Amino acid sequence: MASSTLSTPSPNLLKHQNRPSSTTSSRRSSTFLPPIRSSVSEKPPFQVSISQPQTTKLPIRKIPGDYGIPFIQPYKDRLDYFYNQGRDEYFKSRIQKYQSTIFRTNVPPGPFIAQNPNVVVLLDGKSFPVLFDASKIDKTDVFTGTYTPSTELTGGYRVLSYLDPSEPKHEQLKKLMFFLLKSRSRHVIPEFQSCYREFFNALENQLAENGHASFADNNDQAAFNFLNRALFGVNPVDTELGLDGPKMVQKWVLFQLGPVLKLGLPKFVEDSMIHNFRLPFRLIKKDYQRLYDFFYASSGFALEEAERLDVSKEEACHNLLFATCFNSFGGMKLFFPNLMKWIGRGGVRLHTKLATEIREAVRSAGGEITMAAMENMPLMKSVVYEAFRIDPPVPLQFGRAKRDMVIENHENGFLVKKGELLLGYQPFATKDPKIFERAEEFVADRFVGDEGEKLLKHVLWSNGPESQSPTVGNKQCAGKDFTTLISRLLVVELFLRYDSFEIQVGNSPLGPSITLTSLKRSSF
């Protein structure tokens, strides 16, 4: 339990600098949230790079496409990517032009933020998984792509998401994340129930008053409260942070991702202000300090574990803040509306099947929502997996080739040179028609049964296949199974409470904007 209060003193974050990596601890932590599958097994033996690419039975084809005239072509490509075509059409048009799912192009932000916007794009389900192979791909500082946000935004530290598994700090920090999730596992379900019952009450009140209710506005506060109550035992509303947390986090994330986002401002205003120059940290310095102070005061038990892993409390705190606010809160902010969108579009027939399955499983478990009860909800689990497949919360994955190698799509092999930056666009890879039937459709029961479960290896949202688990030696999301669990909990809570619901779907810079227009209370 986090027993510290916000009066606990903390070092000023602006003094933090990158420390040299210490020798990693040999102490190993275990898995969390049984039977969720995560592992902190030691890294596999380091694999020596070879100078010659592997052989392939497919015909070798030169990677099509080119990068054009420096500065001019990257700028033109950026306008196409954001405004003239949009991201999906940008990639789709080039697949058609080159008759290939692997090609060369430029991606934002380009000039003046990123010196080198050149990438080799992977847009199919066969080539995409090479990005998960730590023996072939270097993940150093490519979390956000062709540019890296200033470490001022993370207290002067390169946090876990920007580290390659070969770096000693990667193992130490990932072990810390596993420790946090394991040590707080029994709090996840009850705190989710508490926070999201408050969330649904707020939706009902707004719906009764206005005839509609915004999912995002209510979800942001519920998600932030849940994460801090479940992981640290502290309700931010009861601290000096109050209700300010979600808005401060969103501003902080904007300063990191602004160069690769389309915000909906007038085209030339947005492009010149957001995509050409980095927003200065000083504009959010006080907000970040407030967030840091809150996490430093709330996470004493985790900071003590960090010191046992030879990580300073300061560096650990910045990583805990990033993992909670950027990774976890950001994931809930992006994915929960997507989940509601696809289930909402499924209509009353799907809703009735889900409500029946969920309520029967909970009754069989004595009226309690448990891990075992959720394992007896195959349609509910499939719906969550299908939403991850069709609308992954993190669509872009990057990695740099550690050596010369051949990457295959379904038709050809392509020689990639050491040092080239690879970009995988996941919505195309997970909607590959050569892997999934009716790939563009949301098929609620796609992953039900033995044959459906075999397809889980092609669900890739967590920076790794759904059929595999995160370890200290890979870059798969440490909270993969935590995220799957809370996504299932949202669906379970929804259909324990309601028979059906209706929505209106709009657009926002970060995905769909969901407005609830009807909630039909449980009748059976």
Spatial separation of the C-alpha atoms in residues 233 and 2, rounded to whole Å: 6
- Provide mean pLDDT across the span 58-77: 97
Beta-sheet pairing, 137-138 with 405-408: unpaired
Residue 333 lies in a domain: yes
pLDDT at 507: 86
Spatial separation of the C-alpha atoms in residues 463 and 426, rounded to whole Å: 10
- Residue 240: give its domain's CATH number: 1.10.630.10
Task: Kindly indicate the confidence band of residue 509, based on its pLDDT and cuts at 50, 70 and 90.
Answer: confident
Of 361, 322, 341, the closest CA to residue 156 belongs to: 322
- Provide mean pLDDT across the span 486-494: 98
Q: Cα 99–105–110 angle (5° rounding)?
A: 160
Produce one character per residue of 487-504: b if its CB has 16 or more CB atoms within 10 Å, e if not: bbbbbbbbbebbbbbebe
Produce one character per residue of 65-91: b if its CB has 16 or more CB atoms within 10 Å, e if not: beebeeeebbbebbbbbbeebebeebb
Spatial separation of the C-alpha atoms in residues 455 and 465, rounded to whole Å: 10
Residue 239 lies in a domain: yes
Q: Is the pLDDT reported for residue 25 higher than 80?
A: no
* pLDDT-above-70 percentage for the chain: 90
Residue 11 lies in a domain: no
pLDDT at 49: 37
What would the DSSP string read from start to end of 109-168? S-TTT-S--EEEEE-STTTGGGGG-TTTEE-TT-TTSSS---GGGGTT---GGG--TTSH
Q: Amino acid letter at 452? A: G
13 vs 447: which has the higher pLDDT: 447
DSSP β-bridge partners for residue 425: 396
- Provide mean pLDDT across the span 30-43: 40
Q: How many residues does the chain have?
A: 524
pLDDT at 55: 66
Task: Kindly indicate the confidence band of residue 357, based on its pLDDT and cuts at 50, 70 and 90.
Answer: very high
Q: Is the pLDDT reported for residue 469 higher than 50?
A: yes
Residue 132 lies in a domain: yes
Distance between first and last Cα of the chain? 39
> Which positions make up the binding site?
477
- Provide mean pLDDT across the span 173-182: 98
Residue 191 domain boundaries: 60-521
Q: What is the mean pLDDT of the chain?
A: 91
Q: Is the pLDDT reported for residue 18 higher than 50?
A: no
Q: Is the pLDDT reported for residue 228 higher than 90?
A: yes
497 vs 111: which has the higher pLDDT: 497
Task: Kindly indicate the confidence band of residue 11, based on its pLDDT and cuts at 50, 70 and 90.
Answer: very low
Q: Which two tokens stand for residue 438?
A: 């009716």
29 vs 476: which has the higher pLDDT: 476
pTM beyond 0.85, yes or no? yes
Of 135, 148, 122, the closest CA to residue 395 belongs to: 122
- Provide mean pLDDT across the span 127-155: 97
pLDDT at 56: 73
How many domains does the chain divide into?
1
In the block, tokens 């040590």 appear at 183
pLDDT at 508: 81
- Please say whether the dihedral angle defined by the alpha carbons of residues 91, 97, 102 and 103, taken in this order, is positive or negative: negative
DSSP β-bridge partners for residue 508: 511
Residue 167 lies in a domain: yes
Residue 471 lies in a domain: yes
Compute the radius of gyration of the chain from its Cα atoms. 23
In the block, tokens 């990774």 appear at 327
Q: Cα separations (Å) of 33 from 178, 189, 246, 278, 439?
A: 10, 10, 26, 39, 32
Longest CA–CA span in the chain (Å) reads 67
pLDDT tens, 318-355? 999 999 999 999 999 999 999 999 999 999 999 999 99
Residue 28 lies in a domain: no
pLDDT tens, 181-190? 999 999 999 9
> Which positions make up the binding site for heme?
477
Residue 242 lies in a domain: yes
DSSP 127: T
Of 367, 452, 153, the closest CA to residue 278 belongs to: 153
Task: Kindly indicate the confidence band of residue 510, based on its pLDDT and cuts at 50, 70 and 90.
Answer: confident
Q: Which two tokens stand for residue 111?
A: 């000039």
Task: Kindly indicate the confidence band of residue 54, based on its pLDDT and cuts at 50, 70 and 90.
Answer: low
Of 392, 331, 396, the closest CA to residue 107 belongs to: 396
